[in-house]
Amino acid sequence: MIVRVAQGCPHNTCVFCGMYKGVAYRPAPLEQMLRQVRKAVRGEPDARRVFLADGDVMALEFAALRDVLAALNAGLPELTRVSVYANGSSILAKTDEQLTELRTLKLHTLYMGLETGDDSILREMEKSEVVSDMVEAGRRAQACGLRMSVMVLLGLGGQQRSETHAAATAEAINRMQPRLLSVLRLVPTENTPLWRRIKAGTFTPVTEYEAVCELRRLIAGLELQSTVFRANHVSNVLPLEGRLPRDKAGLLALLDGLLNSDTLDRNSPGVTPLWL
């Protein structure tokens, strides 16, 4: 069940993201949030899982987020977990005691867009985060009992920084040790500044072949203790999933087979996903 407690994203500066462009960020007043909760509960009284929208709901004031979670717990007797998008800065704005209290109210999974482990790429993409803060935030959240689901973007460094992007991202992920790791491939859309950079020739996307090479470098550099890995989003060239470290060798073997198959486009990003 999705409950919208805020409109848009409080950051909304990332040049690669078109999700909230043209939408002004506006968190709802608390009473409106609680009305939304009550309405959703009436519609799905047996809901077990809830996602609070829109972008970075973790940025809400602690008291508001606590009250929304309490209302969900009161109205949904079968509730097992609540999930939100969360940036590193919004997690760090909460104390350990607050994070622990939110966990007792069944906040469960925080979806964080790390995107890359390279601070210079983050600056170029105008994402208002730094790698060290995101790593610390993920470690703190998991120490308080929350589960981190971290997302990275293949191709975010373009052709020029593909290797450094993969290496730095693997290093950041290793430091954070998230329970879930999802790899998506950058697919620029027309409503983003990055699209205009590509058209102007100031950003060169990786080819289909280079995207798979980058994914292989990333996985090869991962040293994880217990992480569910997924690269099965429609944007990816080859759908992959497994558990790390158990399936690392098998995933690398699949990618090696693809790279040696001569089926990948070495001159362009390849076919655009049908959903765009």
For the record, the structure tokens of 89 come out as 């800065």
CA distance 34 to 7: 15
Q: Residues with Cβ < 8 Å from 140, sequence gap 6 or more?
A: 91, 92, 96, 99
Token look-up 């972008």 returns 55
Residues in a beta bridge with 49: 81
At residue 143, the pLDDT reads 98
Q: Residues with Cβ < 8 Å from 74, sequence gap 6 or more?
A: none
**211 neighbors 240 (Cβ within 8 angstroms):** no
For the record, the structure tokens of 150 come out as 């971290």
Q: Which amino acid is at 176?
A: M
CA atoms within 13 A on the CB side of 194: 23
Q: Give Dmax over CA atoms of the chain in angstroms.
A: 58
Extents of the domains making up the chain:
2-259
Query: Each residue of 171-189: pLDDT tens digit?
Result: 999 999 999 999 999 999 9
Query: Each residue of 90-141: pLDDT tens digit?
Result: 999 999 999 999 999 999 999 999 999 999 999 999 999 999 999 999 999 9
- Buried/exposed 171-200: b ≥16 CB within 10 Å, e otherwise: bbbebbbbbbbbbbbbbbeeebbbbebbee
CA distance 193 to 190: 8
Question: What is the model's pTM?
Answer: 0.94
Q: How many Cβ atoms sit within 10 Å of the Cβ of residue 38?
A: 14
Closest Cα to residue 152, out of 134, 140, 137, 133?
Answer: 134
For the record, the structure tokens of 245 come out as 């470290």
Sign of the CA dihedral with 22 first, then 27, 28, and 33 last: positive
CA distance 167 to 264: 22
CATH code, residues 2-259: 3.20.20.70
Q: What is the mean pLDDT of each run of 10 residues along the chain (276 residues)?
A: 93 90 87 95 97 95 98 98 97 98 98 98 96 98 98 97 98 98 94 95 96 98 98 91 98 97 92 58
At residue 26, the pLDDT reads 86
CA distance 248 to 254: 10
At residue 272, the pLDDT reads 67
